[in-house]
Amino acid sequence: MKRAFATSVLLTCLVAGILGKPLTKESEKERPMRKVEFNGQVVYVPVQEKLADPFSSRITGDEQKTDMILNEEQKEYIRQEKEEHKDGRTKRKAVRDVLKRWTKVGGDVIVPFTMDSPTDDIPYIYEAMDHWSTKTCVKFETYSSDRSSTLGHNQRLRFHKADGCWSYVGRQPTYEMQPQPISIGSGCLQLGTIAHEIGHAMGFQHEQSRPDRDDYVEVFWTNIETDQQHNFDKESLQDVMASEVVKYDLTSVMHYGAYGFAINENIPTLVTKRPFDMQYIGQRSGLSFYDVKLANYIYNCNFTCDPLLDCANEGFVDKTCTCQCPPAWTGALCNENSNVPETITEITRTEPSGEITSPDYESGQYPINSASMIYMVGEPGATITLTFDAFDIADPGSHGCWDYVQVNSDDPRYGGEKYCGNQIPAPIVAKDNIMIWFYSNGVNTDKGFRAHFTIDRPLTEAPVVTTKAPTTPVVTTEAPTTPVVTTNAPTEAPTTPVVTTKAPTSEAPLSTLTSPNYPNAYNAREKKVYRLTTDVGKKIYLKIDEMEIQEGRNRCNYDALIVNLGGTDEVLKTRLCGTRTNVGPFESLSNKMKLIFITDGSEERRGFKVSYKSITESTCGGTFGGESGIVESLNYPIHYPNQIVCDYVIQVDPGKVIRLTFNDLDVEYGPNYLCQYDCLKVIQLNQNDQEETLLSLDGTSPPLPIVSRTNQLTLRLSSDAYVGGKGFQVSYLAI
């Protein structure tokens, strides 16, 4: 994790601090300084690294807390926007009423400021303001009351050091606050981080909040801290952040990185749809080309330019009345290829076999400040084997690998094991695809690596003539890949009541699968993948008979069993831990289901035992008895299926009644009337044995407990063909 040191006394240690390395001959040199002239003052700041590690970017400041703050008027606008999205109404204020710009005088946008930050932090803030001013028509001026009368307002930014990095969005009304605070706290002194917070003050929101973000990135909702999930909502105060102005920008300084607000810090919260694009998100080197284009558009920086040049290839005219071009283009009108080589090499290999190497392997040394991505991809179901023949990467330091090779074998976008040193890794086998990341920093170099690979096509099944179809799903297990290491102390997992579930209606017997060593303690620092597959046209039914998995302080961030129903959407996955029995059942979307078991090294428990089978019909619903218990909808807490009607019948001894308590409710909300889309009804039989609905529910607000009049209640969950939710969990007690 990078750390920026602000004091001049520590400048000679910057290389060691940022790279996390002990000082060596190569790194003892004082980090070069760059002169910045800002408003007549000269300051010096460290020169940025030529190539920061694009694969291990962890943003230390602006994703640790909510860094973008909305005022009450803006929050109400967002709320109304969400309501309109549901029912098509258009009643909210114009965006200009809630997102105020800074005042333009002549050709400059004037942003007054005061500086209350520590002296050692000020050069970094000046650098970021100069960065904005150089690339846009924004001009930062020290606040004065005389200037306020010219601007027509008395607002100014107040830079100070509070807890974290944060800023309000746009110029705030003086009746709300004065001056307008912007915090540059500990860990926030990187150029791009300060530019990010200034971007909010200028009116920018987070890039991943754009309405079109689902075309480019995928959100892993199950790994986001519950109270931080709003940071990933699609919402916009910005009326020009549509694709017709600037395209979605993965390289934006306003885009979150991969791991913001993660429950398990080894798993991302945000990944790109295209595996190669993981290198871009979360950069904090400075404003991207499209950030600059958007700022120039918002503040009409070229309004004095006449005639206005017609820039090609998404170029734009800036305040100097010249075309600014995307990196791939140059020339007066952005119509000439710049031939600038890519910073990071992207290679795709699809042939049945071949050889791969690190850059310049034949020369005997890989270059410093280099990175490459090699993506080996086969047909769905293909088996890929990667074998290293030679391996010589810079030896690791006390904080881990300086240069490294990372092999992502389970998901090409993250999670692979990192290798360095000179020990040849064992052969790696994966399904469908493998992504290799190579990175070298600016200090040491070695020979690199050479490897060969094979891509074996999936076996083609012979046509069925007259044979009995298999009834038990095939289970494929994978050897451990990346160790998941945490240092937090474990906490005790709570015990929950036993749940009685309906046995599935299917012709096949249940098979059993357990964690390693079960019922003894499972292994530390292990990742094991179980792939369950059955015949096409069938599904997999699975229930967790017993589970004793270490539970972390923040949900399942120590050890976890991840259940994936077979889709790519994150709503079809959940992380489970703690001590429970009879969890589920779960039902796959297709003929595939995947379980991933991840452990750290702090404490080991018994693990898990699951039962599974092939089914041809849905198993939702069931009958529940006993004095007490828990009832959960099918696939809870992942996602109940579409187009179902499921009855969960609770029946206790005659002469008793049922007290029903709702622990959790997430059923698709209908904005126009109750149960417009999906619905959960609580039903009992009246004296004439006719159904009587006690409650009809949707949304996410659990009702108060209810008591039946008889010894039987039915919970009926129905869903349409769209959206859906987690479902429900209720507790019952016979009284």
| CATH number of residue 206's parent domain | 3.40.390.10
**Which pLDDT score, from 0 to 100, does residue 214 have?**
86
Distance from C-alpha of 314 to C-alpha of 312, rounded to nearest angstrom:
6
The mean pLDDT value of the chain amounts to: 81
How does strand 165-168 pair with strand 68-69? parallel
Q: Are residues 518 and 648 in the same domain?
A: no
Flag whether pLDDT at 205 surpasses 90: no
Flag whether pLDDT at 90 surpasses 50: no
Q: Give the active site residue among 197, 207, 235, 570.
A: 197
Q: Are residues 263 and 117 in the same domain?
A: yes
**Which pLDDT score, from 0 to 100, does residue 88 have?**
42
Distance from C-alpha of 260 to C-alpha of 65, rounded to nearest angstrom:
9
Cβ–Cβ < 8 Å for 679, 667 = yes
Q: Taking the CA of residue 243 as centre, how many other CA atoms within 13 Å lie in the half-sphere pointing to its CB?
A: 6
284-336 pLDDT tens trace: 989 999 999 999 988 999 999 988 999 999 999 999 999 999 988 999 999 99
**Which pLDDT score, from 0 to 100, does residue 729 have?**
94
264-279 pLDDT tens trace: 888 899 999 999 999 8
**Which pLDDT score, from 0 to 100, does residue 554 have?**
62
Count of structural domains within the chain: 5
Share of the chain above pLDDT 70, in %: 81
127 classed as catalytic:
no
Lowest mean per-residue pLDDT among 74-83, 108-117, 121-130, 269-278: 74-83
Cβ–Cβ < 8 Å for 196, 175 = no
β-bridge partners, 109: 104, 138
Q: Are residues 133 and 239 in the same domain?
A: yes
- Mean pLDDT calculated for residue range 612-627: 86
Would you say residue 483 lies in a domain?
A: no
Flag whether pLDDT at 499 surpasses 50: no
Would you say residue 39 lies in a domain?
A: yes
Side-by-side strand order, sheet with 573-576 = 474-478, 527-533, 592-598, 560-564, 573-576
**Which pLDDT score, from 0 to 100, does residue 11 have?**
32
Confidence of residue 487 (pLDDT cuts 50, 70, 90): very low
Q: Are residues 595 and 643 in the same domain?
A: no
Distance from C-alpha of 349 to C-alpha of 344, rounded to nearest angstrom:
16
Flag whether pLDDT at 6 surpasses 50: no
List, as own/partner pairs, every contact residues 86-89 make where C-beta atoms lie below 8 angstroms and the sequence separation is at least 24, other chains included. 86/669, 86/671, 87/671, 87/672
**Which pLDDT score, from 0 to 100, does residue 241 have?**
47
**Which pLDDT score, from 0 to 100, does residue 610 have?**
93
| Three-state secondary-structure class, residue 148 | helix
Domain containing 664: what range? 620-734
Q: Are residues 701 and 604 in the same domain?
A: no
Q: Are residues 554 and 430 in the same domain?
A: no
Amino acid in the structure at residue 71: N
Flag whether pLDDT at 627 surpasses 90: yes
127 Cβ contact partners less than 8 Å away, ≥ 6 residues apart: 36, 38, 43, 45, 191, 194
* pTM over 0.75, yes/no: no
**Which pLDDT score, from 0 to 100, does residue 701 have?**
86
Confidence of residue 621 (pLDDT cuts 50, 70, 90): confident
Confidence of residue 22 (pLDDT cuts 50, 70, 90): very low
Q: Are residues 168 and 283 in the same domain?
A: yes
Flag whether pLDDT at 604 surpasses 90: no
Residue, of 332 and 1, whose pLDDT is higher = 332
Would you say residue 421 lies in a domain?
A: yes
Distance from C-alpha of 80 to C-alpha of 100, rounded to nearest angstrom:
18
- Mean pLDDT calculated for residue range 389-406: 88
647-670 pLDDT tens trace: 899 999 999 999 999 999 999 887
Flag whether pLDDT at 605 surpasses 80: yes
Would you say residue 17 lies in a domain?
A: no
**Which pLDDT score, from 0 to 100, does residue 70 have?**
78
Q: Are residues 367 and 451 in the same domain?
A: yes
Q: Which domain CATH number covers 683?
A: 2.60.120.290
Lowest mean per-residue pLDDT among 219-223, 332-336, 360-364: 219-223
Would you say residue 223 lies in a domain?
A: yes
Cβ–Cβ < 8 Å for 141, 174 = no
Flag whether pLDDT at 688 surpasses 90: no
Instruction: Report phi then psi at 196, rounded to 5.
Output: -60, -45
**Which pLDDT score, from 0 to 100, does residue 721 have?**
61
Q: Are residues 390 and 529 in the same domain?
A: no
Q: Among 415, 436, 456, where does a domain finish? A: 456
Flag whether pLDDT at 505 surpasses 70: no
Q: Among 563, 595, 619, where does a domain finish? A: 619
**Which pLDDT score, from 0 to 100, does residue 21 have?**
35
Would you say residue 2 lies in a domain?
A: no
- Mean pLDDT calculated for residue range 76-95: 52
Quickly count: other Cβ atoms within 10 Å of residue 517's Cβ.
12
Share of the chain above pLDDT 90, in %: 40
Q: Which domain CATH number covers 314?
A: 2.10.25.10
β-bridge partners, 705: none
Confidence of residue 255 (pLDDT cuts 50, 70, 90): very high
Helix, strand, coil abundance in the chain, percent, nearest 5: 15, 35, 50
Which residues are documented as binding site for Zn(2+)? 196, 200, 206
Q: Among 588, 619, 650, where does a domain finish? A: 619
Lowest mean per-residue pLDDT among 298-312, 374-388, 460-474: 460-474
Instruction: Report phi then psi at 310, rounded to 5.
Output: -100, 90
Q: Are residues 584 and 513 in the same domain?
A: yes
**Which pLDDT score, from 0 to 100, does residue 30 have?**
58
Confidence of residue 114 (pLDDT cuts 50, 70, 90): very high
Which residues are documented as binding site? 196, 200, 206
Distance from C-alpha of 87 to C-alpha of 82, rounded to nearest angstrom:
9
Which among 597, 600, 618 is positioned nearest to 502, based on CA atoms?
618
Cβ–Cβ < 8 Å for 291, 305 = no
**Which pLDDT score, from 0 to 100, does residue 93 have?**
35
Would you say residue 470 lies in a domain?
A: no
Would you say residue 478 lies in a domain?
A: no
Q: Are residues 580 and 679 in the same domain?
A: no
134-152 pLDDT tens trace: 999 999 999 998 888 889 8
Confidence of residue 584 (pLDDT cuts 50, 70, 90): confident
**Which pLDDT score, from 0 to 100, does residue 491 have?**
38
Indicate if the alpha-carbon torsion angle 423, 424, 426, 429 is positive or negative.
Answer: positive
* Region at 506 (left for phi over 0; alpha for psi -120 to 50; beta for the rest): beta
**Which pLDDT score, from 0 to 100, does residue 351 have?**
94
Flag whether pLDDT at 470 surpasses 70: no
Q: Are residues 532 and 594 in the same domain?
A: yes
44-76 pLDDT tens trace: 888 776 667 777 756 554 454 567 887 777 777
**Which pLDDT score, from 0 to 100, does residue 177 have?**
82
The secondary structure of residue 233, as a DSSP letter, is S
146-150, 475-479, 537-541, 713-717 — which one is most confidently predicted on average? 713-717
